[in-house]
């Protein structure tokens, strides 16, 4: 029978209704005197308060007898050719509280009996065979964390050995929600057999390094890849070279409480070689969560952006709710976008506003159906507040009657990488006669433009203009074209005469022959 024990999606126990009602019922006589209502009303009010205060939707809870089936392979030589393959079934035997943490107690059955090679001498100077006869694990309710583990082996065919391991966690952020999260834990092992009793301590650091979808039966389970690095050890049998390396890798469902344990585990610590466990079945059958991916942000401005995602699979649900989480880091603490219901696959978007200019934001898509799935982390940077360029107007040069050269200086590009500059000009400060051709500038400096076709003796106004991330104007300047040149006097006409040469004479700057004038007839 399923127990009235529920967990939130972050794996924290929130409700054991019967236990929480005990103090309420015990206090009924005093409460009745205070509020003068019947006991039934008080109990109903207490139940309503408890149900109202249960914030998230409860995750899955397990019955005694529920199980997970694994195919387990063992490769002592780590050459890719496993020596043995077994079927392990982890079955819920009950719930217990261990070190103040509510746990599911699971027991393992094997077929065939697992045989392993273990270290039997200090520093693994010698090895021997061992068969695993029993294994009991206590995992935190709604999580994949191991809180306690007891295993028994028969070593060298005749030594009955019992290992009891107690785990203690440090900096645990709650059930993982994003790649990049990390924590650490210690494992204290008490190994007892008829010949020796040894207690040693191992310390591990844990990181969520990626995501992967793993099939369990017909269900596709989005998982976090969780790597355990051995950071220190007092284990006398530990082979050299293990400290500082990843000795466990686990794949935890992204949805807390979805399965009784990791969907997959690779262990290179407990035995010589590597043991790999892969979940192949689950009782009850697992729902198939949706599949979602995060796209790049678009239309990014100084304070707004459009977030994009794609729902590629609804899983086993007929309708899926999608949204985005976003923030300054992968905690996504700035908020979430409104939920959107999707009954088919395809892209979806959401507009976020109120962002800080020139700031990097992280976001990811989320899909909630029969389980919750997360897209990968994507970041974008909002645009900086635009800064207009700076420009000044210089004096005109080369002023003639019909043309002039206009001069300006670009002293600041502002926030743009290139700026367009030109001049406006006219007979007054409306500059209505036109503009000079645009010139593109990528660096500070002077620029000029030639005007032609002007009217002589006329005063003109002009100013420099720069267009980048904003428009800037130089001061008004004036110049006056030159007056027209005076007219050239005509050359006098000389009539036809007959001259008789009598010598030379200079007259009016002309050298002519002196001649006697002869009358003509």
Residue 444 in any domain: the answer is yes
Residue 517 in any domain: the answer is no
Residue 520 in any domain: the answer is no
Q: Let me know whether 449 and 309 are in one domain.
A: no
Show which of 232, 256, 281 is a domain's final residue.
Answer: 281
Q: How far is CA 50 from the centre of its chain?
A: 36
Distance of alpha carbon 230 from alpha carbon 245, whole angstroms: 6
Q: Let me know whether 399 and 435 are in one domain.
A: yes
Pick from 167, 166, 88, 84: nearest CA to 130: 84
Q: Let me know whether 74 and 213 are in one domain.
A: yes
Question: In total, how many domains does the chain have?
Answer: 3
Q: Let me know whether 376 and 395 are in one domain.
A: no
Distance of alpha carbon 253 from alpha carbon 264, whole angstroms: 10
Q: Let me know whether 295 and 436 are in one domain.
A: no
For residue 202, what are the β-bridge partners?
187, 233
Distance of alpha carbon 202 from alpha carbon 185, whole angstroms: 9
Per-residue pLDDT of the chain in tens (521 residues, 90 and over written 9): 223 222 333 333 332 333 333 333 334 344 344 334 454 444 444 444 443 333 333 344 788 999 999 999 999 999 999 999 999 999 999 999 999 999 999 999 999 999 999 998 888 989 999 999 999 999 999 888 999 999 999 998 999 999 999 999 999 999 998 899 999 999 999 999 999 999 999 999 999 999 998 989 888 888 999 999 999 999 999 988 999 999 999 999 998 888 989 999 999 999 999 999 999 999 988 888 899 999 999 999 999 999 999 999 998 899 999 999 999 999 999 999 999 999 999 999 999 999 999 999 999 999 999 888 999 999 999 999 999 999 999 999 999 999 999 999 999 999 899 999 999 999 999 999 999 999 999 999 999 999 999 999 999 999 999 999 999 999 999 999 999 877 777 776 655 544 444 444 444 444 444 545 555 54
Q: Give the domain range for residue 199.
A: 66-281
Q: Let me know whether 254 and 368 are in one domain.
A: no
The DSSP call for residue 57 is P
Show which of 382, 406, 432 is a domain's final residue.
Answer: 382
DSSP string, 294-351: E---BS--SS-EEEEEEEEE-TT-SSEEEEEEEESSTT-TTEEPPPEEESS-EEEEEE
Q: Let me know whether 173 and 224 are in one domain.
A: yes
Distance of alpha carbon 191 from alpha carbon 28, whole angstroms: 51
- Using a cut of 0.75, tell me whether the model's pTM lies above it: no
DSSP string, 119-145: E-SGGG-SEEEEEEEEEEEEEETTS--
Task: Identify the CATH number of the domain in which residue 330 sits.
Answer: 2.60.40.10
Q: Let me know whether 240 and 152 are in one domain.
A: yes
């Amino acid at each position: 029978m399923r127990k009235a024990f529920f967990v939130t999606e972050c794996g924290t126990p929130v409700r054991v209704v019967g236990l929480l009602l005990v103090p309420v019922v015990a206090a009924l006589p005093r409460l009745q005197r205070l509020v003068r209502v019947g006991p039934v009303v008080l109990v109903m009010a207490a139940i309503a308060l408890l149900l109202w205060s249960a914030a998230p939707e409860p995750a899955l809870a397990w019955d005694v007898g529920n199980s997970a089936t694994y195919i387990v392979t063992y490769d002592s030589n780590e050459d890719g050719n496993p020596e043995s393959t077994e079927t392990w079934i982890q079955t819920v035997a009950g719930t217990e509280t261990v070190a103040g943490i509510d746990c599911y107690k699971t027991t393992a059955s094997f077929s065939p009996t697992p045989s392993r090679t273990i270290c039997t001498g200090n520093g693994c100077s010698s090895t021997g065979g061992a068969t695993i006869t029993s294994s009991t694990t206590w995992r935190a309710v709604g999580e994949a964390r191991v809180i306690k583990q007891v295993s028994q082996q028969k070593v060298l065919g005749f030594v009955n050995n019992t290992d009891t391991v107690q785990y203690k966690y440090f900096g645990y952020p709650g059930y993982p929600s994003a790649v990049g999260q990390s924590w650490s834990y210690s494992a204290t092992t008490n190994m007892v057999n008829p010949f020796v009793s040894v207690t040693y301590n191992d310390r591990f650091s844990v990181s969520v390094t990626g995501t992967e979808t793993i099939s369990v039966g017909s269900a596709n389970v989005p998982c976090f890849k969780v790597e355990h690095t051995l950071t220190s050890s007092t284990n006398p049998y530990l082979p050299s070279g293990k400290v500082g390396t990843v000795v466990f890798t686990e794949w935890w469902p992204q949805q807390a409480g979805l399965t009784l344990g990791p969907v997959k585990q690779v262990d290179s610590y407990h035995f010589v070689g590597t043991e790999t466990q892969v979940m192949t079945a689950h009782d009850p059958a697992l729902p198939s969560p949706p599949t979602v991916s995060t796209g790049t942000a678009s239309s990014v401005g100084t304070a707004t952006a459009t977030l994009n995602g794609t729902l590629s699979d609804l899983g086993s649900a007929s309708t899926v709710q999608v949204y985005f989480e976003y923030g300054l880091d992968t905690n996504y603490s700035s908020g979430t976008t409104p939920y959107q219901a999707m009954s088919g696959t395809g892209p979806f978007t959401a507009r976020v506003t109120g962002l800080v200019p020139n700031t990097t934001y992280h976001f990811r898509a989320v899909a909630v159906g029969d389980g919750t799935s997360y897209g990968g982390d994507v970041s974008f940077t909002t645009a900086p507040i635009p800064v207009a360029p700076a420009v000044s107007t210089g004096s005109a040069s080369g002023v003639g009657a019909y043309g002039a050269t206009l001069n300006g200086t670009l002293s600041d590009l502002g926030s743009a990488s290139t700026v367009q500059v030109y001049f406006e000009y006219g007979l007054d400060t409306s500059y209505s006669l036109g503009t000079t051709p645009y010139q593109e500038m990528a660096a500070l400096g002077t620029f000029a433009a030639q005007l032609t076709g002007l009217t002589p003796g006329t005063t003109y106004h002009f100013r420099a203009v720069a267009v980048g991330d904003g428009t800037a104007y130089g001061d008004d300047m004036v110049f006056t074209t030159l007056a027209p040149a005076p007219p050239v006097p005509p050359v006098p006409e000389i009539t036809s005469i007959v001259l008789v040469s009598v010598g030379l004479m200079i007259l009016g700057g002309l050298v002519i022959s002196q001649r006697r004038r002869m009358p003509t007839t």
